[in-house]
């Protein structure tokens, strides 16, 4: 059975219990997890696993097929079938959530204003980077991204709820712009997790998000650059 990602239903939960289903050196598979693996351009969660009072630091979480693989700081003494307790690094997770939801808003506005799609990206706790298939350059490109972020900040201030729900694939595919990544295949599976910012954006997405746009805080433009004819990059962050 694939890993059950508990944050799909509750991005704010910080601790959980799970059963160990596989161990390979310091790599551990669990039946369920709150730890978000690096995927979809979003950095992984960190934290710790606790077994019988013994703590193991989670250095990295990666995705293999439909499973999360937890990379520990050392080989564990627990065995397959044992129960462990997980605690995520909440400060890191919450910044990733804020930046992730900000990314959705900016992508939706870029799609609306320029018919631009995301061609790549990276979200870390420090900043986010997105690439768009825009043809602008120089000062015009910088101004376009600055304007998009200013527009995004107005959306943030409106305090719009961020809804998360599931739809059958055939229903989800009827929604225009449900996938806003230019080079991304539609998600696998017959049921998709949908993230909706009412009146702004709706798309299939598997990562943690804030519950209201106001939680994002102020989005700050950092810089823009051209990485090729149809590959324009923007860097931004959110205030602490």
Asked if the domains 4-88 and 93-238 are classified in one and the same CATH topology, the answer is no
Q: In sequence order, what are the residues at sequence separation of 6 or more whose Cβ sits closer than 8 angstroms to the Cβ of residue 192?
A: 166, 167, 168, 169, 172, 178, 204
- Give φ, ψ of 59 to 5 degrees: -80, -35
Which of 2.40.30.130, 2.60.120.200, 2.30.30.100, 3.40.50.300 is the CATH number of 4-88? 2.40.30.130
What is the reported pLDDT for 183? Answer: 55
| pLDDT exceeds cutoff 70 at 185 | no
SS3 162: strand
Determine the average pLDDT of the residues in 95-117. Answer: 97
First to last CA, the chain: 39
How does residue 81 score in pLDDT terms, banded at 50, 70 and 90?
very high
What is the reported pLDDT for 146? Answer: 98
Q: What percent of the chain is predicted at pLDDT more than 90?
A: 90
Domain ranges of the chain: 4-88, 93-238
Domain covering 93-238: architecture: 2-Layer Sandwich (3.30)
Q: Which one of 62-66, 84-88, 136-140, 168-172 scores highest in mean pLDDT?
A: 84-88
């Amino acid at each position: 059975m694939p890993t059950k990602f508990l944050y799909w239903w509750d991005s704010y939960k910080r601790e959980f219990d799970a059963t160990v289903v596989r161990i390979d050196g310091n790599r551990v598979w669990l039946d369920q997890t709150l730890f978000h693996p690096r995927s979809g351009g979003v950095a992984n969660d960190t934290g710790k696993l606790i077994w019988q009072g013994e703590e193991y630091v989670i250095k990295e979480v990666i995705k293999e097929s439909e499973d999360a693989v937890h990379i520990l700081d050392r080989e564990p003494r627990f065995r397959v079938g044992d129960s462990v307790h997980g605690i995520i690094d909440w400060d890191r997770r919450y910044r990733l959530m804020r930046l992730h939801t900000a990314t959705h808003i900016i992508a939706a506005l870029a799609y609306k204003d320029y018919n631009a799609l995301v061609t790549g990206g990276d979200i870390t706790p420090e900043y986010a980077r997105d690439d768009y298939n825009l043809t602008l350059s120089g000062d015009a490109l910088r101004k376009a991204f600055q304007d998009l972020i200013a527009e995004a900040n107005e959306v943030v201030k409106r305090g719009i709820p961020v809804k998360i729900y599931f739809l059958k694939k055939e229903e989800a595919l009827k929604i225009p712009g449900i996938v806003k990544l230019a080079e991304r295949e539609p998600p696998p599976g017959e049921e998709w997790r949908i993230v909706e910012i009412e009146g702004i954006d709706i798309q299939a997405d598997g990562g943690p998000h804030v519950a209201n746009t106001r939680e994002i805080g102020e989005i700050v433009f950092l810089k823009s650059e051209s990485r090729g004819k149809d590959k324009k990059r923007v860097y931004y962050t959110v205030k602490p």
